[in-house]
Amino acid sequence: MRLSLLATLTFALLCNAAPSAPTTPAILGHYGVGDDAITLIAPTASNVQVLPGLTTKVPSGVSRSLAAESASGARPIQASSNLIVITYEARDGAPANARSDWYKTLTDRLPKGAQVQSASPNKSAVIVSVPNEATADILSDLVPGNSRLYRVDPSPKPGLAEGLKTTEVSRLDQVAAALAPGDKDPAIESLIAKVDIPFLQSTVRYLSGEDPASGLTTRHAQSEGYRKAANWVKTRFEEFGCATVELVPFRTGYGPNVVCTIPGADLANEHVLLTAHLDSRGTRFTASGKAPGADDDGSGSAMLLASLRAIKQSNLRLRRTLKVVAFGGEEQGLYGSAAYARAAKSRRDNIKFVLQGDMLAYRKPGEPLQLALPPASRATPAASEVVRKIAAAYVPELTVGTTNACCSDQQSFVEQGFPATALFERNGGIADPQYHKEGDVSARTGYDWQQLQGHTKVAVASVVSVAEIVAAPAK
């Protein structure tokens, strides 16, 4: 799902209607920071260039760095609307030659028509052009297991033009300011007490196929197993109080996003989103390969259902509309969330907060219970601050920090200018030895139900706090 700090990628497309006019940076994608980075710029629609190693230490420096470097040091690459960035995901304990082996395997497996256009100095980030969508889909099946794919979206993302400023953070600032140390809302305490481990266990085991009754062996986004899982989630969403549940297609050949809506009482035009990805990936990244995905991202999917269940059991009414969304196509390049975020931007949805949960349950033996947030380059700082304060107030047993792993579905919303952040299981990088493998089941050492319960409590407390309770539970 994510990658290490050294392997992160920064890319941006800068559009200018008149080539001779001064260029104002309009960042279209920001996938992290680091000395080993690649930046894409497009002074004109047909003039795509690569800048060497752009480093941005703080979000406010993004535009300044691009403006300073866009005039020199760039070299042209093949102009194409079908550009894919592929990044190496470092794992704890990987041998010294793992990165070079990854790059060789990747280039050996490129399908006909796919070409490497550029690579970072240590070959941890690669830009590949493909001739068409069919080749892009083939490529996603051929890359090594420790890879992440991102599609370069040429559409404007003005929300990122000034250092990841978003369309709306005032509600988040208001919530964070109200969370004084030691100050707890009894209604929130009662809500999170309803998040229980047996429900999380039964949900994860159904989705991973460890429960024989499910019959699932994969949730690959192009598989029949994914469609079955999506329908099962739809039924559970309806059971847990969603006013409407939609199966929303986003790409030919892929299963749909599952979208639950609970309308707000008096601020229904303002949306709060709780999200995770339903699809999975195994050792063989094909629709027929085994991919239980108990951690990535059965844990996040279980968090969605447990959160809805707790809200229904608490009989809460919220001022703002709550959307709970299970995305598809995350493993192929954030397809489902990118489609949702683009559509939301086009509709002018008034999204106040997006919280993604991805890989929540693995705890490396000997380490404390943890909750990690993305760095400021990959999330809205105000959104992360709300989550940080909620965790400190209501689930203090979690050690809260920052992950250098990247990038889940929150990235799609950040790129469109919406306030978003994400939950991850570990401060630092990926430690799960079964990441993107057939062994990603819950019945193994390190899969920690207490940690998943803690993350779920933080998630539901966060979205309910932002959406705002308007009525006490009925007596």
Same domain flag for 379 and 415 = yes
Mean pLDDT over each residue of the chain, to the nearest integer: 81
Q: Give 472's pLDDT tier (boundaries 50, 70, 90).
A: low
- 217 assigned to some structural domain: yes
Check whether residue 183 and residue 305 sit in a common domain: yes
Residue 344 Cα distances to 127, 347, 351, angstroms = 28, 5, 8
Kindly state whether residues 177 and 128 are assigned to the same domain: no
Task: Let me know if residue 14 belongs to a domain.
Answer: no
Least confident segment among 107-121, 308-322, 433-447:
107-121
Contact by Cβ (8 Å): 13, 28: yes
Residue 50: pLDDT band (50, 70, 90) is very low
For 475, other C-beta atoms within 10 Å of its C-beta total 4
Assess whether 295 and 441 both reside in one domain.
Answer: yes
Whether 90 has a pLDDT exceeding 90, the answer reads: no
Beta strands, E only, 152-243: none
Give the pTM. Answer: 0.79
* For residue 231, pLDDT beyond 80: yes
- Please state, in angstroms and rounded to a whole number, the distance separating the CA atoms of residues 183 and 185: 7
Query: What is the band of 285 on the pLDDT scale with cuts at 50, 70, 90?
Result: confident
pLDDT at 413 > cutoff 60 = yes
Mean per-residue pLDDT, 155-167: 42
**Pair 254, 134 in one domain:** no
126 and 188 together in one domain: no
**Amino acid found at 68:** A
pLDDT band at 425 (very low <50, low <70, confident <90, very high): very high
Judge if 144 and 191 occupy the same domain.
no
Residues 6+ apart with CB under 8 A from 17: none
pLDDT of residue 167: 45
Taking residues 217-244, report their average pLDDT: 98
- The reply to whether 329 and 261 lie within a common domain is yes
**439 lies in some domain:** yes
Regarding whether 396 and 303 lie in a shared domain, the answer is: yes
Of the chain, the end-to-end C-alpha distance in Å amounts to 43
Q: Which of 89, 119, 151 is the last residue of a domain?
A: 151
Q: What domain range includes position 107?
A: 26-53+76-151
Mean pLDDT of the 41-52 span: 39
Check if the beta carbon of residue 404 is closer than 8 Å to that of residue 8. yes
Q: What is the pLDDT of residue 298?
A: 99
Examine the fold and report which residue of 125, 151, 177 is the final residue of a domain before the chain moves on: 151
- The answer to whether residues 193 and 133 belong to one domain is no
Q: What is the pLDDT of residue 195?
A: 99
Residue 45 lies in a domain: yes
Query: Does residue 61 contact residue 67 with C-beta atoms inside 8 Å?
Result: no
Residue 177, Cβ density class (10 Å: 0-12 exposed, 13-18 middle, ≥19 buried) = exposed
Residue 192 to residue 463: CA distance in whole angstroms: 12
What's the distance, CA 267 to chain centroid? 26
Is 390 inside a domain boundary? Answer: yes
Query: Which domain CATH number covers 95?
Result: 3.30.70
158 in any annotated domain: no
Distance CA 122, CA 17 (A): 34
Residue 442's CATH number:
3.40.630.10
Distance of CA 168 to the CA centre of its chain: 19
State how many domains the chain has.
2
Q: Is the dihedral angle over the CA atoms 137, 138, 143, 145 positive or is it negative?
A: positive
Note the pLDDT of residue 100: 85
Please state the rounded mean pLDDT for residues 327-341.
Answer: 94
Among 151, 181, 214, identify where a domain stops.
Answer: 151
Q: Are residues 311 and 419 in the same domain?
A: yes
pLDDT of residue 80: 52
The arithmetic mean of pLDDT across residues 188-203, rounded, is 98
Whether the pLDDT of residue 363 is over 60: the answer is yes
Residue 408 and residue 89: Cα distance in Å, rounded? 13
Say which amino acid occupies 375. P
**Residue 406 clears pLDDT 90, i.e. is over it:** no
In a domain, 64, yes or no: no
For the chain, give the percent of residues with pLDDT over 90.
57
Helices (H), 42-169: 62-69, 98-109, 133-142
pLDDT of residue 153: 60
**pLDDT of the residue at 276:** 99
Residue 6 located in a structural domain: no
Mean pLDDT, residues 209-225: 97
Residue 6 has pLDDT above 80, yes or no: no
Average pLDDT over residues 301-305: 99
313 and 431 share one domain:
yes
pLDDT of 39 higher than 70: no
